[in-house]
Structure 1
């Protein structure tokens, strides 16, 4: 059912990983140029795969176990994205390239939070179904 709370959390995760990287900058260079995720193929592909996995998870609402596993894979992908962003921000030499980090570097963290909340709701639904099956 698409009206469950985990669908809301997954929709928020889709917005964070699929739509916001288009409009929010990852960092600003010393020349005051905003660097978006669209400027780097690795970032846009990881954000895109994360958004695609979130959509697949939203529409696999009939199979809660599958939805749970897809969300776990999406969390791993977001941790890889965080690692890549941290590596990129730490390996650049001081003020040579990156002058100011943007809110876009926190987008994978927000996505992970929404995915964890969705997994908690999926687990709660699964426990409810198991308890009803025991009564029968």
Structure 2
């Protein structure tokens, strides 16, 4: 079977989801304290460094699992039907992950009303876009194979 552009899209989706571990979703300043929410936890800036106040271990594990699911799906190229199903499941999990991230983002001191949204809040939407592009690539490959079968 052929595997082309969808490999790149799935890799980009995995990198985008895993960026939630690095880039903050929400930041806010309460008084002289600055707070950040990442998929790994709630952080407060103290003496120039960010110190973890609360750890979000289940969210971190779920983020890593969704990213690994995209990476593992790259090697499922021999079964395009299963690859498409895994991509659709991955999209559903990314949507669930984004809702879960928003629940933790609401716990930021000062609330979301005064918070600044960062790259991390938009990463799930970008990852879904990459998954849809991968699905489109798989459909294109299926069409190509069907047309080649007609020529034989």
State the shift of 1:63 in Å: 1.4
Bigger fraction of residues in strand: 2
Matched, 1:21 2:37: no
Query: Any unmatched runs of 5+ in structure 1?
Result: none
Seen in structure 2, the aligned counterparts of structure 1 residues 3 and 61 have a Cα distance that, compared at 3 Å, is: closer
Distance 2:2 2:149 in 1: 22
Q: Deviations over 1:115-134 (max 9, x none)?
A: 00000000110111122223
Please state if 1:33 is matched with 2:35.
yes
Residues 97-106 or 74-83, more deviating: 97-106
Larger radius of gyration: 2
Structure 1 length normalisation: TM-score? 0.84
Q: How many residues align?
A: 133
Higher helix share: 1
Tell me how far apart the structure 1 counterparts of residues 35 and 8 of structure 2 sit (CA, whole Å).
Answer: 34
Task: Output one character per residue of 1:43-99: Cα deviation in whole Å (capped at 9) or x when no partner.
Answer: 21221121111011111111111111111000000111122233444x559x62443
4+ residue segments displaced more than 4 Å: none
The CA RMSD over aligned residues, in Å, is: 2.2
